[in-house]
């Protein structure tokens, strides 16, 4: 998917919502455990219930890996089930030397048909560009993350710029080489920085985790993060998919997604 | 495995050799393609041939993921086949917030029984410690990597220390909390830095990729990197496993491993 298509989708649905499919087999409702593929059955019901309100879906790879080989089958079925007109993100945070990064890109973009992958910048440009080589396939590069440990290294400052600012700056030069293929992960818990980060990367899409369980402020994110193309994908995982752990889980997920979409709508 | 056990193994085999199992189904010999599990058949033959000369094995997760769900089955069989007295490394370069990192740790340490995982430090301490919580299970934290892009961020300097030096310093404080559980990835292509890095992290194990295809100097790595407990795991992947792509691939892999071991032996 290209950035202008994602911008249109945001306008059409009046939503920045990305639903995080952090599907933990230990937390899905009892009655689904007898399904042939409980993880997929859960994801399918969540997708059906949230699709009117969401523009993107983000499976967290850790949860599928943890289920063993069958977890990857559940992931494949989930990707195949998602309509082609929503945006998809493999939350994998990969980052490795060129020939290895190529293999990861091949997996996520070809075997699983994701639109994008989250990527760690620690190893530099040659660890990221293999994810940028196909038009319409993106990397979301970790910028300033939502967790407490973000401060350990991301604020490391050379007097002119902090590490995360250097990542934003260099990431945009990569985007110049591969137009429209680089976005950034910017945590919702860093709302005091959101306005500044938007001025540092005015045209980029930000994937914003950290509202809900991690405590980020949705309105501040929208207010300070939006740009003319929308520019935001705001993720909620646990707050939506585990809104209820009973038989009504899908209905509750739909309601939680609708409530977030309504809060976002005025900013889209 | 605990560090003193790994040190004993290095002494016993007079070897720092880690065999990188970057097994690409497109590069394995023709006659193995009819095996029920070609990737496992290849790995088994490589392990049998190299075991006298190697102290560690490092599957590169990208290659198993790329093979789809059955790639994870090949990985499981490979781990189950490896003797318990060699050290194992999941080269996965994971790094994510706490609850996700816990899932990754569970996968690699419990489902697949690895001794260690490579971890990216970008997200900070809380992305690393879930890999340190089990005694005898390690994280190799990316320090100074072997690729060209390493210079993009790892040399970012606050006037006192570069980013990779900060990672080395903070990583050792984590190791104080979880003794013996933190090692570092230090690329063999950075031999001009190896002696200095050894003084900065005198007691840590270094996982050293980059000899062979990437051009690192084995003797310089041994000379400047060794410490009293050995302190080195020097990886070779393509130079061993693709030493020959003919029917004699395992024999050629054994010879390549033996040649490296003989070069390492004087330093062990």
pLDDT tens digit string along A60-114? 999 999 998 899 999 999 999 999 999 999 999 999 999 999 999 999 999 999 9
pLDDT at residue B214 greater than cutoff 80: no
For the segment B10-24, the average pLDDT, to the nearest whole number, is 98
Helix (H, G, I), strand (E, B) or coil at A120: coil
List b or e across B103-139, with b for residues whose CB sees 16 or more CB atoms inside 10 angstroms. bbbbbbbebbebbbbbbbbbbbbbbbbbbbeeeebbb
B52 in reach of chain A (CB within 8 A): no
Give the number of beta-carbon pairs within 8 Å between A and B. 172
In 3D space, the residue among A114, A138, A174 whose CA is nearest the CA of residue B65 turns out to be A114
> What value does the mean pLDDT of chain A take?
96
pLDDT tens digit string along A17-43? 999 999 999 999 999 999 999 999 999
Question: Are A242 and A27 in contact, with CB atoms under 8 Å apart?
Answer: yes
Who wins on pLDDT, A214 or B190? B190
A30 in reach of chain B (CB within 8 A): no
User: What CA–CA distance (Å, rounded) separates A104 from B84?
Assistant: 29
CA distance B54 to chain A (A): 23
Q: Which helix (H) or strand (E) holds A20?
A: strand A17-21
A70 in reach of chain B (CB within 8 A): yes
Taking an 8 Å cut-off on Cβ atoms, the answer to whether B69 and A65 are in contact is no
From the candidates A93, A125, A160, A190, give the one annotated as an active-site residue: A93
Nearest CA in chain B to A149: B124
- What is residue A51's DSSP assignment? T
Question: What per-residue confidence (pLDDT) applies to B237?
Answer: 95
First to last CA, chain B: 19
Question: Are B233 and B208 in contact, with CB atoms under 8 Å apart?
Answer: yes
In 3D space, the residue among B57, B43, B81, B39 whose CA is nearest the CA of residue B1 turns out to be B57
B77 in reach of chain A (CB within 8 A): no
Taking an 8 Å cut-off on Cβ atoms, the answer to whether B68 and A111 are in contact is yes
First to last CA, chain A: 19
For the segment A140-162, the average pLDDT, to the nearest whole number, is 96
pLDDT at residue B201 greater than cutoff 80: yes
pTM above 0.95, yes or no: yes
Number of H helices, E strands in chain A: 12, 8
The label of the residue with tokens 């994280």 reads: B139
User: What CA–CA distance (Å, rounded) separates A237 from A239?
Assistant: 6
Question: What per-residue confidence (pLDDT) applies to B145?
Answer: 96
User: What CA–CA distance (Å, rounded) separates B185 from A218?
Assistant: 38
CA distance A143 to chain B (A): 9
> What value does the mean pLDDT of chain B take?
96
User: What CA–CA distance (Å, rounded) separates B19 from A122?
Assistant: 24
pLDDT at residue A215 greater than cutoff 80: no
> Three-state SS across B226-258?
CECCECEEEEECHHHHCCCCCCCHHHHHHHHHH
Question: How many other C-beta atoms lie within 10 A of the C-beta of residue B28?
Answer: 22
Question: What per-residue confidence (pLDDT) applies to B106?
Answer: 95
User: What CA–CA distance (Å, rounded) separates B229 from B5?
Assistant: 10
pLDDT at residue B210 greater than cutoff 90: no
pLDDT tens digit string along B43-78? 999 999 999 999 999 999 999 999 988 999 999 999
Rounded alpha-carbon distances, angstroms, from residue A27 to A61, A179, B245: 16, 40, 47
Question: Are A49 and A253 in contact, with CB atoms under 8 Å apart?
Answer: yes
Which residues in chain B have their CB less than 8 angstroms from residue A121's CB?
122, 152-153
* Residue B137 bears catalytic tag: no
User: What CA–CA distance (Å, rounded) separates A150 from B246?
Assistant: 48
Question: Are B19 and B56 in contact, with CB atoms under 8 Å apart?
Answer: yes
In 3D space, the residue among B203, B179, B194, B218 whose CA is nearest the CA of residue B7 turns out to be B203
Q: For A61-162, where are the alpha helices, taking DSSP H only?
A: 61-65, 69-81, 98-106, 125-128, 150-153
User: What CA–CA distance (Å, rounded) separates A46 from A235?
Assistant: 15
Taking an 8 Å cut-off on Cβ atoms, the answer to whether A62 and B146 are in contact is no
Question: What per-residue confidence (pLDDT) applies to A2?
Answer: 97
User: What CA–CA distance (Å, rounded) separates A205 from A10?
Assistant: 12
From the candidates B44, B70, B77, B93, give the one annotated as an active-site residue: B93
In the stretch 175-214 of chain B, residues with CB closer than 8 A to chain A read 214
User: What CA–CA distance (Å, rounded) separates B71 from A156?
Assistant: 39
pLDDT at residue A115 greater than cutoff 80: yes
Helix (H, G, I), strand (E, B) or coil at A87: strand
List b or e across A124-151, with b for residues whose CB sees 16 or more CB atoms inside 10 angstroms. bbbbbbbbbeeeebbbbbbbbbbbbbbe
Local confidence band at B215 (pLDDT 50, 70, 90 cut-offs) = confident
For the segment B230-245, the average pLDDT, to the nearest whole number, is 96
pLDDT tens digit string along B153-179? 999 999 999 999 999 999 999 999 999
């Amino acid at each position: 998917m290209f950035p202008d298509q994602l911008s249109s989708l945001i306008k059409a649905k009046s939503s920045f919502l990305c639903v995080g499919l952090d599907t933990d087999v230990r937390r899905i409702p009892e009655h689904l455990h007898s399904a042939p593929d409980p993880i997929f059955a859960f994801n399918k019901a969540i997708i059906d219930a949230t699709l009117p309100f969401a523009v993107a879906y983000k499976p967290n790879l850790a949860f599928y890996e943890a289920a063993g080989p069958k977890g990857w089958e559940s992931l494949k079925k989930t990707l195949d089930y998602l309509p082609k007109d929503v945006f998809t993100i493999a939350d994998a945070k990969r980052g490795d030397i060129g020939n290895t990064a190529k293999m990861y890109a091949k997996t996520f973009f070809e075997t699983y048909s994701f639109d994008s992958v989250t990527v760690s910048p620690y190893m530099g440009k040659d660890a990221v560009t293999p994810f940028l080589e196909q038009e319409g396939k993106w990397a979301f590069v970790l910028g300033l993350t939502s967790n407490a440990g973000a401060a350990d290294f991301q604020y490391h400052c050379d007097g002119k710029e902090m590490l995360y600012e250097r990542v934003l700056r260099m990431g945009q030069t990569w985007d110049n080489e591969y137009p429209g293929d680089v976005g950034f992960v910017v945590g919702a818990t860093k709302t005091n920085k959101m306005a500044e980060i938007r001025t540092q990367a005015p045209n980029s899409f930000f994937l914003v985790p950290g509202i809900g369980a991690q405590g980020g402020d949705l309105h501040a994110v929208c207010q300070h993060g939006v740009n003319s193309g929308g520019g935001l994908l705001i993720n909620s995982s646990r707050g939506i998919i585990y809104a209820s752990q009973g038989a009504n889980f899908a209905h509750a997920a739909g309601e939680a997604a609708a409530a977030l979409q309504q809060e976002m709508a005025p900013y889209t």
